[in-house]
Structure 1
């Protein structure tokens, strides 16, 4: 099989004994570059995790592997775009969820609330991952707008705390109110800020870095 990584082409035999060396060589090459590992494209299929098992299961048939890498800025932009996409999909579902809490929440209602809280935590963790980067000012298009977004993130964290207190008291009407009148408007404000933060620059295709 052939491995394409950062303008290099590596060749290995198609057997399981080679798997350890494949990933070690990939790690060594990336560690000496300015790029960050993103994922693999294996015979045209995007693979984002469980790489060892994928290789073990398909070792005899794999012909071509492209190692996709990104700069810190590109990775951050991907995170911002993913957050925008999540918010767009979440807002209509939150409105439905609020209506369910105004009535009598059922098992599926609780499952959806759990998923929402997990999504909110993911947004906060994603923010932190970018915010602590020393190159933050070069990553986001507006440092001032990023600080305003940071305030939204702080408010989101406070709302999660309020959720826990309301749920302990089984105050379902207040849960519905916070979903409708605080989470939805906050998500819309966050989306607007994120759209301003996403750079419009055209970046090179990641798979071209071989």
Structure 2
């Protein structure tokens, strides 16, 4: 098996290779350059979840593991830009969904709810990662997304659609606005609210 990490190549004897050795080599490389894994390809196929489990399950068959890395600050900046773009696009959708809860709920509304919940999970994980790695101040952790998510799920659980609309209108939208404006002010500067 071969391991390519960016431009470095390590060749292992397949019969003696242990997953632990591969993981150690990858983590050592990442630590040297303050890097983070950007993508993980196994025999040319990008693996998005549990790459080490995939390797363990197919250790004897895999020919090439490719790990593409990015400098952590570049990765985080791109993540913050993605977060801002998502929040900016989601705000009008949340406002519309809130109105749908007040006017009458449809099957199309459920599709939007599912997309919203998936987005909320991603936002929450993203904020935890960004703040946890010290790239933004702790004020982002005070954006209590978890409480708003829980209140929204509770309202849906008892099919109180007016309450669900209220949670979106009076908790989610202000939280999204806070996230958006905080990113604009702290990261991109008060004078530059447009970024590419």
Return the structure number with greater relative CO, CA threshold 8 A, min gap 6. Answer: 1
Deviation at 1:166, TM superposition (A): 1.6
Correspondence 1:168 to 2:157: yes
SS at the partner of 1:178? helix
Q: Supply the RMSD in Å over aligned alpha carbons.
A: 3.9
**2:61 matched residue in structure 1:** none
SS at the partner of 1:170? coil
Deviation at 1:164, TM superposition (A): 2.3
* Cα distance change on mapping 1:169 and 1:50 into 2, 3 Å: closer
**Deviation larger for 187-196 or 161-170:** 161-170
Deviation at 1:180, TM superposition (A): 2.2
**1:117 matched residue in structure 2:** 117
**2:172 matched residue in structure 1:** 183
Give runs of aligned pairs for residues 124-203 of structure 1, distance below 5 A: 124-133=124-133, 136=134, 139-140=135-136, 143=137, 146-147=138-139, 149-151=140-142, 153-154=143-144, 156-198=145-187
Runs of 4 or more off by more than 6 Å in structure 1?
23-28, 46-51
Equivalenced residue count is: 185
| Structure 2 unaligned blocks of 5 or more | 11-22, 52-65, 190-196
Deviation at 1:77, TM superposition (A): 1.6
SS at the partner of 2:69? strand
| Structure 1 unaligned blocks of 5 or more | 11-22, 52-65, 201-210
Whole-Å separation in 2 of the counterparts to 1:175 and 1:7: 51
SS at the partner of 1:70? strand
